[in-house]
Amino acid sequence: MGVLSGSLILDATDARGKLANKILSGMGAEVIQINPEEKGEQGRLRKLVKKADVLLETFPPGYLASLGLGYKDLAVINPGLVMASITHFGQSGPYRDFNSSDLVDQALGGWLSVTGEADMPLKLFGEQSYKTASLFAVNGILLAVWQRHESGRGQHIDISIMECVAATLDHVLPRYYYSGTIAKRQGSRHWNNAFDILPCRDGYILISLHQHWDTLVEWLASEGMAGDLTNEKWRDREERNRNIDHVLKVLEKWTSSYRVEELVEKGQLMHFPWAGIT
């Protein structure tokens, strides 16, 4: 039994909404696929809407309404229907009718401005913008279903994939509004130098650059690899950040002497949040 056991979800999505349906199904909902573009499916949709809780769709803005299947039309049949529409740029605005893709959504939403090397943006693996939009859609659907318990009415949820990407920029917007800082790409290094990916003999490792600093330096020193990092000045985090390239040079020489598995295992024993990169 899940929180959505007994609920009926109508799935009229493409790749942009598949994760949302998978999550909703995992919560116990029954999911029925339907394609209003196929012959006979429009009548089937109107019939199923009578008992459906949610309709999730990814058609271009206005398309279902042109078939007499927009939210206003379906809400007449079932006032409690929750309809979620996932599109690239939302149901309104100057971009609503533009074609797009996962790559374009990642770029316009801002991810590519902070992922990759300084001179080369890096697209996130897979269709991450679509998966992100699905997560936002699930949250919206759950909130709308919960509100329906009090209001007795459904609502139309407008999910813009580009806006979902922009909403997950982590540090980018707060830093800009707080200090005017414009975030930039800096490879594998975390924006505040908390983590970086360094080479080992047989691969790469994600390591923390500041956590348990004294323990890390003591470890390097015991192997004769600490260089000048034993100097008292390096205990100051701001000093390390100001000279992060030098700190990384010393650490890279050390990590390169280890195998990934060996370094991760020893690091975890000392409570360092490190992980191998495959």
Helix (H, G, I), strand (E, B) or coil at 196: strand
CA distances (Å), origin 15, targets 57, 71, 87, 110: 11, 21, 11, 21
Of the candidates 219, 188, 194, the residue with the CA atom closest to the CA atom of residue 208:
194
Residue 218 is classified by DSSP as H
How far apart CA 234 and CA 231 sit, in angstroms, is: 6
Beta-carbon contacts of 121 under 8 Å, excluding residues fewer than 6 positions away, are 107, 112, 113, 115, 185
CA distance readout (Å), 63 to 54, 60, 71, 101 = 18, 6, 11, 18
The closest alpha carbon to 161, from 126, 137, 185, belongs to 137
State residue 187's pLDDT score: 93
Residue 238's CB: how many other CB atoms inside 10 A?
7
Is domain 8-167 in CATH 3.40.50.720, yes or no?
no
> Which residue is listed with tokens 């192997």?
223
195-277: CATH superfamily: formyl-coa transferase, domain 3 (3.30.1540.10)
Note the pLDDT of residue 269: 94
User: What pLDDT, on a 0 to 100 scale, did the predictor assign at position 278?
Assistant: 77
- Strands 82-87 and 156-160, by their bridges, are parallel
Question: What CA–CA distance (Å, rounded) separates 64 from 67?
Answer: 5
Domain residue extents for the chain: 8-167, 195-277
Residue 1 has pLDDT above 80, yes or no: no
What's the mean pLDDT in 43-69? 97
Q: Which of 18, 95, 98 is nearest to 58 (CA)?
A: 18
d(CA 65, CA 185): 42
**15 near 129, Cβ under 8 Å?**
no
Q: Quick one: pLDDT at residue 92?
A: 96
pLDDT tens-digit map of 137-184: 999 999 999 999 999 999 999 999 999 999 999 999 999 999 999 999
- Express each pLDDT in 89-136 by its tens digit: 999 999 999 999 999 999 999 999 999 999 999 999 999 999 999 999
Q: Which two tokens stand for residue 259?
A: 């195998």
Radius of gyration of the chain (CA): 25
Owner of token pair 């323990």: 215
Name the amino acid, one letter, at 170.
D
Q: What are phi and psi of 158, to 5 degrees?
A: -100, 110
pLDDT tens readout for residues 236-274? 999 999 999 999 999 999 999 999 999 999 999 999 999
Residues comprising the chain, all counted: 278
